[in-house]
């Protein structure tokens, strides 16, 4: 098992700063499904941890895992997933934005609508509970969104970065990333990002802001034995 929380970020979150959202069983864990789709293993190469995960999710159920390349033992089936990259922003400055507003429960219908239309990644009914989510409005309409998802010691993942197609090209995503970074830096954390490897536009934006690719990662959906 790695000692660097960034190598197994969901496990580090579920057994650390975000343990209050965790369902644990032995060497496996998952978020409350309304909060996040992520499940995790203490050691992705340990068959016993996969057995614990099978008990946790139930026969024939799916588990969504992020890592350098999980290889499940016989009986498990990979049913979906994408190759991605993990980026870190140790030198990315936080820049508060006067237009960025903190979103809350009253904004959830608009948040879910924007996420559904732009598909920045998995987002559940209670994902906003994981951290601060900021938005920029135009004429009262939620035009762009970004917030905090996985949190591990010393790092917070910026996620759900998305812009309504009607408002793209205005730099709103970059501004919100700066604003979210400012907030997490206030508590001593550094920013972390994940992106699909083929999402070259997003990766270029993140690199332009000062993020660097740390490592490839795999986001996979795995079905437990029946």
pLDDT in tens, the chain (226 residues): 447 999 999 999 999 999 999 999 999 999 999 999 999 999 999 999 999 999 999 999 999 999 887 889 999 999 999 999 999 999 998 999 999 999 999 999 999 999 999 999 899 999 999 999 999 999 999 999 999 999 999 999 999 999 999 999 999 999 999 999 999 999 999 999 999 999 999 999 999 999 999 999 999 999 999 9
**pLDDT given for residue 67 in this prediction:** 87
Q: Report the relative pairing of strands 28-31 and 22-25 from DSSP bridges.
A: antiparallel
Q: Are 124 and 34 in contact (CB under 8 A)?
A: yes
Residues 150 and 197 in one domain: yes
The alpha-helical segments, DSSP class H, found in 9-140 are: 9-14, 47-57, 108-118
CATH number at residue 39: 3.40.630.30
Contact 87, 192 (CB under 8 A): yes
Structural domains of the chain, count: 2
Nearest one of 93, 88, 81 to 38, comparing CA atoms: 81
Are 124 and 57 in the same domain? no
How far apart CA 149 and CA 10 sit, in angstroms, is: 10
Q: Quote the CA–CA distance of 69 and 183 in Å, as a whole number.
A: 32
Looking at the fold, whether 42 and 147 belong to one and the same domain comes out as no
Task: Note whether 121 and 53 are same-domain residues.
Answer: no
pTM confidence score? 0.94
Domain ranges, residue 167: 88-215
């Amino acid at each position: 098992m790695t000692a660097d929380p960034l190598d197994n970020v969901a496990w580090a979150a579920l057994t650390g700063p975000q343990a209050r959202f965790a369902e644990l069983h032995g060497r496996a864990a998952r978020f409350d499904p309304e909060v996040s789709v992520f499940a995790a293993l203490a050691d992705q190469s340990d068959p016993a941890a996969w057995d614990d995960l099978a008990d946790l999710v139930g026969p024939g159920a799916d588990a969504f895992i992020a890592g350098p390349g999980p290889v499940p033992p016989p009986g498990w089936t990979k049913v979906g997933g994408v190759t991605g990259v993990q980026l870190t922003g140790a030198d990315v400055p936080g820049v508060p934005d006067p237009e960025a507003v903190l979103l809350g429960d009253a904004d959830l219908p608009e948040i879910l609508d924007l996420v559904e239309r732009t598909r920045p990644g998995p987002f559940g009914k209670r994902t906003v509970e994981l951290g601060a989510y900021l938005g920029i409005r135009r004429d009262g309409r939620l035009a762009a969104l970004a917030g905090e998802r996985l949190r591990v010691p010393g790092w917070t993942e910026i996620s759900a970065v998305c812009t309504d197609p009607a408002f793209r090209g205005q730099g709103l995503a970059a501004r919100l990333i700066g604003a979210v970074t400012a907030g997490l830096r206030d508590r001593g954390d550094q920013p972390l990002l994940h992106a699909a490897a083929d999402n070259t536009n997003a990766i270029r934006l993140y690199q332009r802001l000062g993020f660097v690719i740390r490592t490839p990662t795999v986001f996979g959906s795995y079905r437990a034995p029946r």
